[in-house]
Amino acid sequence: MIRKIATLFIAAAFMVGCTNVDPVTGERTRNNTGTGAIIGAIAGAAAGTLAGGDDRRNAMIGAGIGALAGAGIGLYMDRTYQNLRERLAGTGVGVTRVNQSQILLNFPADLTFDLDRDAVKSQFVPTLTDVGGILREYAQTTVDVYGHADCTGTDAHNQDLSERRAMNVASILGRGGVIRERLVAQGFGESQPRYQPCDAAGNRRVEVYISAFQG
C-alpha cells in the first residue's frame, strides 16, 4: 500500500560529520562511514508535488533568484545538463534529461547506502558535494531529493528510512552550495520499486530532480 508522502523543506542549519577522504576518482568502494545529518526541517509542499509550492517559490524570489521563461528555459537546462554530464563522468551517477525543463540524477544503491542504513558512504560524499557545487552555479532551478527503500522491514520503517536518506543527501548538497530555499527532501518508502524482487539492492536509492524555476 502506498504510504502518505512526507515532504520537507530543508532547514537553515546543517550538521555534517567530519570525514577524511581522497578526491573523487570514480572508483567504487564499500566504505560505509557515516556522514551528514540535517538538524531540522520544516513541513513543506504538498505530497507528490515535484517543483514545490508557493512557499518555496516565494522563498526563492525572496532570495533574489529570478524565474526562467520562454526559450531561455531550454537553453539554461541544456547548459546545466551538459555540465553535469561532463563533471560527473566516471562517478557512477546517472544523468538523464527528462524533458526540456527537467533533469534527473540517480544515485545507485551500491554507491550511496548500505542495507537498512541512511548514512551516505564516506567515499561518495565528495561526489555529492561536487554535485552541490555544480547546482550552485545553476541557481535558477529547484532541487527535489527523493529517497527510496527496498521492501525489507515494515512499511513504517522503510518510510522513515527513505526520508532520512533523502534528508542526508540534501544536507550534503547544501554543504556543496545549494541554498535551502531551493531544496525539498521527500521520502517514498518502498512504494516505488524500480527493480524486482522488491528487496533488490537497486531499490535503495536517492533520485534528485532538477527543475527549471519558471516564471
pLDDT digits (tens, 9 = 90+) for 67-83: 999 989 999 999 999 99
pLDDT over 70 for what percent of the chain?
Answer: 75
Q: Is residue 82 part of a domain?
A: yes
Q: Say which residue the cell 546543517 belongs to.
A: 14
Q: Which three cell numbers stand for residue 44?
A: 513543506
Residue 156 lies in a domain: yes
C-alpha cell recorded at residue 114: 548500505
Does residue 8 lie within any of the structural domains? Answer: no
The pLDDT, as a whole number, for residue 53 is 59
Q: What is the pLDDT of residue 200?
A: 87
Paired sense of beta strands 37-38 and 41-43, if any: unpaired
Q: Is residue 81 part of a domain?
A: yes
Q: Which domain holds residue 180?
A: 51-212
Residue range 118-177, pLDDT digits in tens: 899 999 999 999 999 999 999 999 999 999 988 888 999 999 999 999 999 999 999 999
Judge whether residue 28 has pLDDT over 50: no
In a domain, 33, yes or no: no
Is residue 148 situated within a structural domain? yes
- Residue 78 counted as domain residue: yes
Buried b (16+ CB within 10 A) or exposed e, 11-43: beebebeeeebeebeeeeeeebeebbebeebee
Out of 31-40, 122-131, 181-190, 198-207, pick the least confident. Answer: 31-40
Q: Measured in whole angstroms, how far is the alpha carbon of residue 201 from the centre of its chain?
A: 18
Instruction: Tell whether 187 is covered by a domain.
Output: yes
Task: Say which CATH number the domain at 200 has.
Answer: 3.30.1330.60
Number of domains in the chain: 1
